[in-house]
Structures are given as structure tokens and as C-alpha cells.
Amino acid sequence: MGLETIFGKSWATSKMEYVINWARKFSFFDYPFVTACCGMEFMSTFASTYDIARFGAEFPRFSPRQADVLFVVGTVNQKLAPVLRMTYEQMVEPKWVLSFGACATSGGFYDNYAVVDGIDKIIPVDVYIPGCPPRPKAVLDALIKLQEHVQREKLIK
């Protein structure tokens, strides 16, 4: 039973939606799916210089069942694709995906049969982070874009 069923289309429901989305955008629980060299740049965003914690994404989870943001960092090959799909399916709702770097976004400089040409062929992606590897500031920019996306989401679909 959704909120709309309980309250109807009212002022209280729209304000509640705003408050819930505000809380969600400052309390991300991320799951890093790291497969390649971009992992080093990913880890640097957690250091004190960039301090990703101020954006509400401080604690990485070690189980996808405890996470709502999936960072796919690095190359995904054909053998790994089903594992990525299963990881995504194990995450709680609502869930969001960030494609980290050129390899995750488009296969990078690997142009062969073994590499997936972008993880969006396997799972839906909410934000793409460009670069090879992306700089930490690009990661923070993507996180801010994800926060804006979450704030605009509708609870009742």
C-alpha cells in the first residue's frame, strides 16, 4: 500500500516525499564493485583531502544487501557480467548505479570480444563518471548529481 493510497494526493504527501528524499540523498550506503586500476582513484575520494563523507557516502558496505549505491569501478568482462547482474539484483530498493571510468562506461580501450561495452548493457546506470581514471573531484561531482537525482525522485510510481 503506497502513501498515495493512504493520504491521497495532498500537501502532506508531497512534503513527506521531499523530506524522505532529502534524508536519502545524505545517507548513501555504497557498495564498490572494483575490478581494475580505477580502484586506486576510487579509494582516494575517501581520504581526508576529498572527504566523501561530507556528502553522506562515507561507509562502504561489504554486502550488496546493505547497500543502495553501486559503484562499478573498472573493466567488466563477459564472464563477470552475470556476477554484476546478481550483485545489482541483491541490492535493496531504492538503488542507484554509478559507472566509474571509461572501462565501466564504454569498455575503455579494450576493443575485443571479452569486454562488455558499457555496464548499461547489463544494469541501469544513473550517473556516468568520465575519465581514465576519473579524478576524485569528478567522483564528487557525480555524487552531487546523484543527490540531485534522488531529491527529484517520486516515491509513488
Q: Which domains does the chain have, with CATH numbers?
A: 29-152 (3.40.50.12280)
Q: What DSSP designation does 60 have?
A: B
Exposure string over 100-111, b if 16+ CB within 10 A, otherwise e: bbbbbbbbbebe
Lowest-pLDDT range of 1-5, 39-43, 81-85: 1-5
| Whole-model pTM over 0.85 | no
pLDDT value for 10: 55
What is the reported pLDDT for 3? 58
Helix axes 136-152, 11-25, angle to 10 degrees: 160
pLDDT computed for residue 15 by the predictor: 76
Q: What angle do CA 47, 50, 56 make, to 5 degrees?
A: 90
Nearest residue to 41 via CA among 155, 133, 138: 133
Can you spell out the DSSP letters for 79-148? TTHHHHHHHHHHSPSS-EEEEEHHHHHH-TT--STTB-S-GGGTS--SEEE-SSSPPHHHHHHHHHHHHH
What pLDDT was estimated at residue 142?
93
Give 46-92 pLDDT, tens digit per residue.
Answer: 888 888 888 888 778 889 999 999 999 999 999 999 999 999 999 98
- Using the predicted structure, report yes or no on whether residue 13 has a pLDDT greater than 70: no
The residue type of 104 is: A
Q: How far apart are CA 88 and CA 66, in angstroms?
A: 12
Q: In this model, does residue 12 exceed pLDDT 60? A: no
Cell 543502495 -> residue: 68
According to DSSP, residue 53 is labeled G
